[in-house]
Chain A
Amino acid sequence: GESVGLHLPTLSVQEGDNSIINCAYSNSASDYFIWYKQESGKGPQFIIDIRSNMDKRQGQRVTVLLNKTVKHLSLQIAATQPGDSAVYFCAENPPPPKTAGNKLTFGGGTRVLVKP
C-alpha cells in the first residue's frame, strides 16, 4: 500500500496473477480519485479514475474500488503482465474553490515488480 517516507512499498507478483494495490486517502471531502502508472524514465500516465458517487469502475484489465467509509482506494490489475511493472500512484482531488482548478494530492507510490 501507499506510505510516506523514503522507502517505496513494493509488490512482487507472478506473471499472470492478479495484483491489488492499496491506497489510503486523507480528505473525506475528496470527490475525485485517479490512478497513475509511471514506468522508469517516464512521466506518470493515466490509468483509471473514479468519482465519489461510485464505488467501482472497470477499465481494460483494471478495476478501481472506492470505499469512502474507510477512505480507501484500490487498484486491481487482472492477469498481470511484465509491462505492468512500474510505480503506481493514487491521487485525490478535494473539491476546490473555483480558482483552484484541478489540484491533485498524490500518495507516495507503490512499486510493482512482475516476475516471469
Chain B
Amino acid sequence: DVKVTQSSRYLVKRTGEKVFLECVQDMDHENMFWYRQDPGLGLRLIYFSYDVKMKEKGDIPEGYSVSREKKERFSLILESASTNQTSMYLCASTDLWGGDPRYTSGGELFFGEGSRLTVL
C-alpha cells in the first residue's frame, strides 16, 4: 500500500514561531503537494513539487515556503506563524500523470492523515 506519512498529527505554536511540517512518501512518486483544509473551503493548494528541488506555487502560497531535497520528502515551512494559519494541513503525492502516458493529466492523489496546526 502507498503510504504518505506526516510527522506531526497535532501541533500548537505561538505567533511568530517557525514551523516545519514534514511529509514522506514511500512510492517513489514524482509529484508531491501541500494543501490546507478549512471548513467549507475544501482543500486549497499551497505549493507543489514535480521533482527534487523543483517547486511551484499553488493558489495560496503567501506565508509559506517548501523544501524538496529528496524525492520522498516534502517539507512545508511557516517562517513566522500567524493565527490565520491555524488549519489542517494535508500532504499528498502521485506519480506523473497517473502513470498513463496517453493522458496529460490525471491520477489519484494519495493523502497523509493530516497535521492540525493551532497558532496561538
Inter-chain contact B30/A101, CB cutoff 8 Å: yes
Spot the interface stretch: A39-47, A58-66, A70-78.
A39-47
Secondary structure dominating the interface of A: loop
Chain A residues with CB below 8 A from B56, complex form: 99-100
The distance from the CB of B58 to the nearest CB of chain A, in whole angstroms, is 8
Inter-chain contact B45/A103, CB cutoff 8 Å: yes
The distance from the CB of B80 to the nearest CB of chain A, in whole angstroms, is 26
Q: Tell me, in angstroms, the Cα distance from A54 to B90 when the chains sit together.
A: 30
Query: How many residues from B make CB contacts under 8 Å with A?
Result: 36
Q: Report which of A31, A42, A101, A108 forms a contact with B31, defined as CB distance below 8 A.
A: A101
Asked if A28 is an interface residue, CB under 8 A from chain B, the answer is no
Q: Report which of A4, A49, A100, A106 forms a contact with B106, defined as CB distance below 8 A.
A: A49
Name 24 interchain pairs, CB-CB below 8 A, sorted by A: A6-B39, A6-B40, A7-B40, A32-B103, A34-B108, A43-B92, A43-B114, A44-B111, A46-B109, A46-B110, A49-B106, A89-B43, A95-B105, A99-B56, A100-B50, A101-B94, A101-B96, A101-B97, A102-B106, A102-B107, A103-B45, A104-B45, A105-B59, A106-B35
Residues of B near any A CB (own CB < 8 A): 4, 30-31, 33, 35, 39-45, 48, 50, 54, 56, 58-59, 90, 92, 94, 96-98, 103-114
